[in-house]
Structure 1
Amino acid sequence: MGQNNFNLSNPDATSLLSAMRLGTLSAEQVVRQHLERLARTQGKINGATHIFTEQALAEARELDRHGNKDLPLFGLPCSVKETFCMAGQDVTAGSMRMQPEHHLQDAEVVRRLRQAGAVIIARSNIPEFAMTGESTNLRFGRTNNPLDVDRVAGGSSGGEGALVGSGASAFGVGSDILGSIRIPAAFCGVVGFKPHSGGVDKTGTWPVVTGNTRTWLGIGPLTRSVRDAQLVYNVITDHPVAEPARTGGRLITPHGFPLRVQQGCISDALSAARTALLEQSFTEERRAFTDIGSLYLKIPKLILDDFHHQWLDMLSHPPGRRFSLLNELVAQLRGKPTIDRGLLMWLLIAPFMKPRSRKQVQAVARQFDEARAHYQSLLGEDGILVLPTLGLLAPRHGEMNRLSLKPGINGLFTGHTMGNYLDLPSIAIPAWKFRDPATGLPPSISVLCAPGAEAKLFEAAKCIESVLN
């Protein structure tokens, strides 16, 4: 199944929606086609944790009989991340140790998808506790990249990237606290949009983040096109994106930014994207981003302050059996692990990176708050950034965690992580015209803006998409 570009051979959700409204396709036909593709690819890709075949077909038939074809997502088959609550389903976070959470009602984002006419055909795989760039866990196994099964699909919304990238799902919805939508989108050759933290209601999604990283987390779509991303986002947000009042804007070109790329095709795609905007009424403005390296080094401090204690509590099940890192290391060496290796890596660095006092936490949080205010003001209503989504193409299994969790400033990941801690809406766009000659994999380019400037972001993203594909 290596090196297939499914995303170019399958119509996007907007095209499918048009066909269903015209009557050339029924909702049942569209849903059945996607379920059949999912059945063919699941054994190799393992993107889904649950598949709702009969329920989805029944919903599609009901839509064909009595549904309103003007519903914004009428009949579109989609998937949602396993950490989104669904009535009658458990949230396991991919963990064998955590007590599963049973839910009696849908998360708000799931409710809105159903209300808009979407048909949920599957839930998708994640890394354990949704905290690494490789979607593998002991409960559901490893998700493989649909473009090359020997490579990672990304994380933490890796199952979504794999399902959309394989053509099994017309679109998916995931969450993103350190690139968890855009990493899978980049690796699987699809579009991924992370809104700002207040863009989509998180009620009923796991985990509930109340600490300093709550403004890092966004919920958004993974799709086959930029227009699909805007379509789905306008359903799940309270702040739909309209067309921009005027075309053009400021293309902010950062200097002093610690950025590194492994493949030349990424640089070529980036240059083409920026040139396209400069030819379309955008003007270039160079600005300093010299503190990005320092901020990058502090990311683990706030992540671990918010989550480390929670992780240990969830791993200590049943109650009274406290999780022991030493015992887990022994179990891993014996080939009998109880947690995924990626989560283990986070737990191993915790003693060295976690802040020692509340005063230190407050000082670090203040630095991020000041940077967020500064850069959001710099971008304003018409400024955008164009950066590589990642400085690498999808690596082989095991390499992503090793690269992303090693200490030091890593220019491969500085671009996408900035979108989280600065709370910037960010969209990743595949560049199929610039695919790597050695692997056939596409690079990915991201557009970022300040909250409130999403119309400008989508304008720029559509322009870039037309050049890169």
Structure 2
Amino acid sequence: MTSFSEYESLNFRRYKRNNKVLLNFYSFLKLFSCFCNERKGRNRITSTTNEIFEMSATQLAYYIRNKKISSFEVVSNFIERQKQVNPVLNAIVADRYEDALQEARNVDKFLETTELTETELSERKPLLGVPITVKESLSMQGMPLVVGAKNRRGFIAEKHGESVRMVIEAGGIPLCVTTTPELCISNETNNLVTGKTNNPYNIGTTCGGSSGGEGALISSAASVCGLGSDIMGSVRIPAAFCGIFGHKPSTGVVDISGHVPWSEEPLFKKCLSIGPLCRYAEDLLIVTKILTKNNPLLRLDEKVNLNNINVHFMEDNGNPANTLKVHPLIKHRIKQSVDHFRNKWKCHISDVKFDDARFDPVIIALFLSYQNDYISDNVKVGYQWMKSIFGKADYSMGLLLYLLGKNHPKLLIDSCETDTILKFVTHFEQKIDHVLGDNGILLYPTFPTPAFKHGASCFTLSSCTYPGLANLLGLPATTVPVGLTENGLPVGIQVIAARNQDRLCLAVAKELESVFGGWLPPFDTNTGASGQFRAAAQV
């Protein structure tokens, strides 16, 4: 029987060798796809004309509760904004605007008659009257649940997924469900039902995936916050590519029922999480508290003393087999973040080194091990691939790449055996628990590069292991926007903590927002929102 260390070494050697072989093939596909998908014009997103769009969900909820602005006005403005930008983005699967407007009217009527105090309202309905958006795969009653699959056309969700139900119960008003790749299996939002979703900073590039529609709408100020799901960075990659915040909660603290695709396998349930995307860091806390029912294990109401945090960092994962190198700006922002915590907060700093070369094959093995009941076992991948050249395929390129790896895993690695994967997982968990403890964070790239061009996702498979580390170990992780490249594309870094230490991620994200400026709009701002108006809503 192969020992743990022998298996580890063998698997990595095969992964490294085959990654180089596949690189030549993928490079051809990348160039061909980029040529076919080239779009001119870096930015077509129009400017906002109302200071409502420059406010956080937390601030909007405060003003609505205090009747300084009506829910109907807020919802109406966001609906008009979505109608304005979606023809450019293609981020909406289906809307529910009429229902949302009626729900906003009901909120305003309720506020005229309620005897609840502002404090009681904020505790019971923290998002009362605030418009939100929801990733299609999370299940919203009466809305499509196609998830980009041609063979699911016509599917309608019969009931809310639990995460959707909780946010609506907290007062949120859903405006629409948003786009995903086919069955959420890609880091690029493109499918054969709704087509591709564009990045608001450059419509020739992807918004990421699989919560790509959320990232594009929120970044364009067409949604104030939204819900996404994350199994290998599906919240955090779109957040990084679209210049916003995204949080993947710890494993087991958010009810993930209602998600499509679904699997009863323990590894799937461990790695899948549902979390918020938003433009402002303070909204991460309010939505995370809703989704986790303010689980006492997380201590989300406990103030974090940044002086007591141990800051660990890695500029890359040290894997020479990776096809993408970490962008210099991402490395620079990690260094600047470390310097900030060293100089301002006198934190202990550690340039931690894991044996990261083995992360990639293990995480890819994990991904390929899922039993996906939504895909027929009889799909002829080669035949479908040939059909795709002529635009006649029944499945998207992202799904075909997944099936190729699943049907022929030895193209990448030697084994996808669950028992072997679990040995790796246990080893990593023990090591990272020891390093991070209850007061440590790890600053790490969310993804090695800014958004790539449409059709190039096949070139980036191994890079999904950057965010996949947190899924593999069940850790909380938050993407923080840290600026724009010289080409005007956002980059992000992630803050990772030990399990159930989500509060550390959220506190550090808010601190880094003050350092790097957070969300930088993909359009010129004309409103010049009053600082006094925004400051008054700090609650």
TM-score normalised to structure 2 length: 0.78
Aligned residue runs from structure 1 range 1-80, under 5 A: 2-3=42-43, 10-67=54-111, 69-70=121-122, 71-80=125-134
The equivalent of 2:345 in structure 1 is 280
For the 8 Å contact 1:213–1:421, the answer to whether it is kept is no
* Aligned-pair Cα RMSD in Å: 2.5
1:265 positional shift? 2.1
Q: Residue 256 and residue 333 in structure 1: after superposition, are their counterparts in 2 closer, same or farther (change >3 A)?
A: closer
For the 8 Å contact 2:313–2:334, the answer to whether it is kept is no
Deviations 1:404-449 (A, max 9, x none): 22xxxx4x544322111121100001123xx212x11221121110
For the 8 Å contact 2:138–2:229, the answer to whether it is kept is no
Alignment partner of 1:263 out of 313, 322, 327: 327
Deviations 1:258-301 (A, max 9, x none): 277453322222122122222214211343301x2212112222
Alignment partner of 2:301 out of 242, 258, 262: 242
Q: Distance in 2 between matches of 1:304 and 1:454?
A: 28
1:254 positional shift? 4.4
Q: Distance in 2 between matches of 1:300 and 1:358?
A: 10
1:6 positional shift? 7.6
Q: Which runs of 5+ in 1 are unaligned?
A: 317-321
Q: What secondary structure sits across from 1:252 in the alignment? A: strand
Q: What secondary structure sits across from 2:256 in the alignment? A: coil
Select between 251-260 and 236-245 the one with higher mean Cα deviation: 251-260
The equivalent of 1:289 in structure 2 is 354
Q: What secondary structure sits across from 1:287 in the alignment? A: coil
Q: Which amino acid aligns with 1:31?
A: V
Alignment partner of 1:132 out of 183, 186, 208: 186
Q: Residue 197 and residue 277 in structure 1: after superposition, are their counterparts in 2 closer, same or farther (change >3 A)?
A: same
Q: Distance in 2 between matches of 1:65 and 1:132?
A: 43
Q: Which runs of 5+ in 2 are unaligned?
A: 1-40, 115-120, 518-539
Matched, 1:455 2:503: yes
1:201 positional shift? 0.5
Q: Distance in 2 between matches of 1:330 and 1:447?
A: 41
Matched, 1:298 2:356: no
Q: Residue 6 and residue 14 in structure 1: after superposition, are their counterparts in 2 closer, same or farther (change >3 A)?
A: farther
Q: Which amino acid aligns with 1:310?
A: D
Alignment partner of 1:340 out of 396, 400, 410: 396
Q: What secondary structure sits across from 2:250 in the alignment? A: coil
Q: Distance in 1 between matches of 2:351 and 2:88?
A: 46
The equivalent of 1:310 in structure 2 is 373
Identify which of structures 1 and 2 has the higher relative contact order when contacts are C-alpha pairs closer than 8 Å and 6+ apart.
2
1:126 positional shift? 0.2
Q: What secondary structure sits across from 1:20 in the alignment? A: helix
The equivalent of 2:211 in structure 1 is 157
Q: What secondary structure sits across from 2:349 in the alignment? A: strand
1:244 positional shift? 3.1
The equivalent of 2:13 in structure 1 is none
Aligned residue runs from structure 1 range 69-218, under 5 A: 69-70=121-122, 71-98=125-152, 101-211=155-265, 212-218=267-273
Q: Which amino acid aligns with 1:392?
A: T
For the 8 Å contact 1:5–1:189, the answer to whether it is kept is no
Q: What secondary structure sits across from 1:17 in the alignment? A: helix
Deviations 1:39-80 (A, max 9, x none): 011111011101111000000010010146532001111111
1:334 positional shift? 3.3
The equivalent of 2:385 in structure 1 is 329
Matched, 1:225 2:289: no
Q: What secondary structure sits across from 2:375 in the alignment? A: helix
Q: Distance in 2 between matches of 1:5 and 1:462?
A: 28
Q: Distance in 2 between matches of 1:6 and 1:187?
A: 20
For the 8 Å contact 2:139–2:258, the answer to whether it is kept is yes
Q: Which amino acid aligns with 1:257?
A: N
1:466 positional shift? 0.7
The equivalent of 2:459 in structure 1 is 403
1:5 positional shift? 10
Aligned residue runs from structure 1 range 413-428, under 5 A: 413-428=464-479
The equivalent of 2:516 in structure 1 is 468
1:358 positional shift? 9.3
For the 8 Å contact 1:251–1:383, the answer to whether it is kept is yes
Q: Residue 336 and residue 265 in structure 1: after superposition, are their counterparts in 2 closer, same or farther (change >3 A)?
A: same
Q: Percent identity?
A: 29
Q: Residue 101 and residue 457 in structure 1: after superposition, are their counterparts in 2 closer, same or farther (change >3 A)?
A: same
TM-score normalised to structure 1 length: 0.90
1:326 positional shift? 3.7
Deviations 1:352-409 (A, max 9, x none): 317999993311222123212321332110010011222111111112x12222xxxx
